[in-house]
Amino acid sequence: MSPELAPYLVLVVVGFLPNEVWRLLGLVVGRGLHEDSEVIIWVRAVAVAVLAAVIAKLTLVPPGALAAVPLLVRLAAIGCGYLAYLLLRRSVFAGLVAGEAALILGGLLFPS
């Protein structure tokens, strides 16, 4: 094996494969469950809560270059993304693009 490919192999073995085992297990276990079952509703709620926590942490205590963008700009970008999501028929892609555009534009216009 060439030394250039070693980091990619480590990434696949340590990062990708362990996650895929759990995804596959989730598919097998969840196959017979109805979408409205209590377990699925609880799993969905936990997933949304974890995502909300990650977004809150990235917004309030940003790492790296995002820390250079003022808090007001980060909050406004979230608001723009959510507004686009609502206005464009609950399109996650539209909300993501609008929020990212607002964040980039705000970061360029109001550097800290």
48-95 pLDDT tens trace: 999 999 999 999 999 998 999 999 999 999 999 999 999 999 999 999
C-alpha distances in Å from residue 98, one per residue of 61, 67, 80, 83 = 22, 20, 6, 9
- Decide: 77 and 106 in contact? Cβ < 8 Å: yes
pTM above 0.75, yes or no: no
Q: Are residues 72 and 109 in the same domain?
A: yes
Q: Are residues 78 and 101 in the same domain?
A: yes
Task: Tell which residue, 98, 97, 99, 95, has the closest CA to residue 78.
Answer: 99
Would you give the DSSP letter of residue 5? T
Q: Are residues 107 and 69 in the same domain?
A: yes
Predicted pLDDT of residue 1: 65
Q: Are residues 21 and 50 in the same domain?
A: no
Number of domains in the chain: 3
pLDDT: which is higher, 5 or 109: 109
The CA distance from 91 to 29, in Å, is 29
Q: Are residues 56 and 89 in the same domain?
A: no
Predicted pLDDT of residue 29: 84
Q: Are residues 40 and 52 in the same domain?
A: yes
- Grouping H, G, I as helix, E, B as strand and the rest as coil, residue 96 is helix
Q: Provide the domain limits for residue 38.
A: 34-61
Q: pLDDT per residue over 1-28, tens digit each?
A: 678 888 888 888 888 888 899 889 988 8
Angle at 39 between CA 34 and CA 45, to 5 degrees: 110
